[in-house]
């Protein structure tokens, strides 16, 4: 079984799907690996690192024409055209549309794609959950970004030249990214508050030393698989109204609220931004999905009403080395349940027989 690792081509994407240390582990399990030359450079991994791990360095066409191709980001139509007919494909497919042209092109060529974002959030699949591993990095990097953009101290500072109060940080959304943002901001010394529409997150927020913001919306926001569900229009309006005063007092807001396959909910209105102190910062992790603040501009840092709005859409790529290692481990753990050891090398199992691979595998019937 030959695994191909092409270079990511999306502008700004620095990650690579397999790191050298994971490549060595896969090679020891009988896989042969082919890496497109230079695919790991942006993540800090040189071709020589892969050669030392037993990886063959090849051109792009050869990497794409492997039995199994692993990527981070969604493939282009040109990349799909270069895949081997009947091949397996692993990576984020980034689509909620069953008629997506990339997926349809894969199905037409008999390619079996497994979407990393469809890995179920169950105990057995935690080590394969790439959404969580990358969101963890995003939450950390968002807090660092906020501290760098905020022109004041995060912690309480008492010096002979005077003292300053700690920054008031509000984190919206207590999923994987939000919890890591809370933990990081707290470690930096900020006074941290957090809000989530799912009542079960309250204990997690408190365990990290943050203060939960409690709102009575008249309905709960817990959805399937541990995700939040979309609120009614009435509850959304009440949420904005009740959050307004808390947010207006914040010096830093980090928003992480997302609903799968839906536009990001608006939590920070323009009227709130106008009330915030000059130089305050909003880091909007939902920028790629429209933003939790309507003033956010995707992939831009802008200043509006005196507030800095950060709209980066790929925080894991800002920490490409560690992000690539985490992702590569997710891939390796998934491959461990997809294949069994046989005399002729790794043999693919029936993907429909395991609940994890069955959930990740996309078919024309999805």
**pLDDT per residue as tens digits for the range 91-106:** 999 987 768 999 999 9
Q: What are phi and psi of 282, to 5 degrees?
A: -120, 120
- pLDDT at residue number 310: 98
Q: Please, which residues bridge with residue 56 across strands?
A: 34
Pairing of strands 252-255, 281-284: parallel
Q: Which residues are catalytic?
A: 121, 126, 129, 132, 227
Task: Kindly report, residue by residue over 203-255, the tens digit of the pLDDT.
Answer: 999 999 999 998 877 776 555 655 566 778 788 888 888 899 999 999 999 99
Q: Is the pLDDT of residue 266 over 80?
A: yes
Question: Residue 163: which pLDDT band, with cuts at 50, 70 and 90?
Answer: confident
Q: Is the pLDDT of residue 304 over 70?
A: yes
Report how far residue 242's alpha carbon sits from residue 263's, in angstroms, rounded to the nearest whole number: 21
Q: What are phi and psi of 24, to 5 degrees?
A: -65, -40
Scanning the chain, the segments in alpha helix (DSSP H) are 20-28, 47-52, 60-64, 77-82, 101-108, 130-149, 176-187, 202-207, 233-248, 270-275, 320-338, 355-360
Scanning 188-316, the segments in alpha helix (DSSP H) are 202-207, 233-248, 270-275
- pLDDT at residue number 366: 65
Pairing of strands 2-5, 68-70: parallel
- Residues of the chain above pLDDT 90, percent: 80
Collapsed DSSP state (helix, strand, coil) of residue 351:
helix
Residue ranges covered by each domain of the chain: 2-118+319-360, 135-314
CATH topology of domain 2-118+319-360: Rossmann fold (3.40.50)
CATH code: domain 135-314 is 3.40.50.720
Establish whether domains 2-118+319-360 and 135-314 are of one fold: yes
């Amino acid at each position: 079984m030959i695994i191909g690792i092409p270079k990511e081509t999306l502008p700004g994407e620095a990650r690579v799907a397999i790191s050298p240390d994971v490549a060595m582990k896969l090679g020891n399990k009988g896989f042969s690996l082919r890496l497109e030359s230079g695919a790991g450079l942006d993540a800090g991994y040189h071709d020589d690192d892969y050669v030392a791990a037993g990886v063959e360095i090849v051109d792009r066409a050869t990497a794409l024409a492997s039995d199994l191709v692993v990527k981070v980001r969604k493939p282009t139509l040109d990349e799909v055209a270069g895949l081997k007919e009947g091949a397996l494909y692993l990576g984020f497919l980034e689509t909620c549309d069953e008629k997506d042209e990339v997926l349809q092109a894969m199905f037409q060529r008999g390619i079996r794609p497994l979407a990393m974002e469809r890995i179920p959030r169950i105990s057995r699949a935690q080590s394969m959950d790439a959404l969580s591993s990358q969101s963890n990095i995003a939450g950390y990097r968002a807090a660092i970004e906020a501290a760098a953009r905020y022109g004041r101290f995060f912690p309480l500072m008492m010096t002979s030249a005077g003292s300053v109060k700690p920054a008031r940080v509000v984190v919206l959304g207590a999923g994987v990214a939000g919890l890591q943002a809370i933990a990081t901001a707290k470690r930096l010394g900020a006074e941290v508050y957090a809000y989530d529409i799912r009542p079960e997150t309250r204990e997690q927020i408190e365990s990290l030393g943050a203060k939960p913001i409690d709102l009575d919306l008249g309905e709960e926001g817990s959805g399937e698989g541990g995700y939040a569900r979309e609120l009614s229009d009435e509850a959304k309006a009440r949420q904005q109204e009740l959050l307004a005063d808390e947010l207006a007092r914040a010096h830093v807001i980090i928003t992480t609220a997302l609903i799968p396959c839906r536009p990001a909910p608006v939590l920070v209105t323009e009227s709130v931004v106008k009330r915030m102190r000059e130089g305050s910062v909003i880091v909007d992790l939902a920028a790629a999905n429209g933003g939790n603040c309507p003033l956010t501009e995707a992939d831009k840092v802008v200043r509006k009403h005196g507030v800095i709005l950060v709209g980066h859409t790929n925080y894991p790529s800002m920490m490409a080395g560690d992000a690539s290692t985490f992702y590569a481990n997710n891939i390796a753990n998934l491959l461990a349940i997809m294949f069994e050891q046989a005399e002729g090398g790794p043999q693919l199992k029936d993907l429909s027989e395991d609940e994890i691979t069955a959930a990740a595998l996309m078919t024309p019937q999805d």
